[in-house]
A and B are shown apart, each in its own frame.
Chain A
């Protein structure tokens, strides 16, 4: 129903919108605590990268730095070769809690911060996530999954060249999560933005990403490509294997004599 609406938007813009991200020896400290200890990372335009790690490993901090929400302590962050602060590239973010404004109707939430003829744009994107019939509802009447769909629509309506996903699905039930993963993958395939997903769910990382990065103790401990065929199938055996590898690496591989 919705793919066509999004594809037509892609044709309008006429090019891949993904941004190239260059993380150059980034350090972030909070007080005495060094949360990121010199992270180097390059992300290709249109790539879908998942960052996994235990809580407190610094993965969310890295995402917030890339989003421009916090300042770097040291190092360099470039979008298409330009420092993030000066970059024209648009990054939008989906949070774990949907952060829909409860005092705005669904459609107004999607159109937040848009100028000019926003309603038409917002309607189109809301349709793409399958929630157009709910446009006049208050957010408080929606289910958790629906709220995240609206949040996704709100992030997409700005036509981002980078979509940041900060554990957006971790509060959802398993079935809704699968649905949302399919939706996110389909929209990403349609639009070609760069996507950066932070998650503690390795299965989710493996299902969605081209590349899985493990952050441990403020440093990149692992960087594995994921060549599984798109769109990803639940039954794909290579995904299960990759998941097993990553989980074993995180938990510490069983000791061998």
Chain B
């Protein structure tokens, strides 16, 4: 039996990149489930997620942000999205977007205040301040809540519906159409990459030396480029054949239902309540 190199960088990169593209771009499995968020009009979902993100940006208390995050988790469960899967999709992004900013902000250099921990190194005093710590926690909580809502939106909405929502922001139809086609063919190319890798593996016997692997990757990139170029011409011909004259067209129409309007009312009430709670905790009252 051929022994596989478990740490083969090329193997991991090719296989993971292809599956990441397929899994992250297309959430067809979760978007097709019959859950709360899946049943809503995509435009209303985008609007509500934007409202929640704005809410997260302006809330000043971590406890309120945690309540907002709890709401996101509740919506995840009501949308029949596996919680573990959801957390796996969201948590890796949080350090990516927050740690580089949050860690320096804890120190007295950037956030002066009452020291909760300090040390001296080479005659320089380094301290983590209470205010800095609070700021960092608040920032991470904001990022967590915001990313979670965005991921929930992407998991519960078909990618083509999300693209159509771009029209709400005045993005040209031709751009939406071309982006949709790009998405469509990303999947095809991800499959080609996977199949090519399997073919290489079947011939190379499982072990690919690093130097040889680099050549294979470079060759595959060139081959994929060539295929994309040829496909581009064929797809254009297929469009011409069906009467395309340069004017973008689409049959997709959003249809708002009573439930969508109720959802928006619910979201507005929730956002107002969160702001009110935040204000109360700050010693002010807005209602």
Q: Do these two chains interact?
A: no
Which A residues are within 8 Å of any B CB, using their own CB? none
Which B residues are within 8 Å of any A CB, using their own CB? none
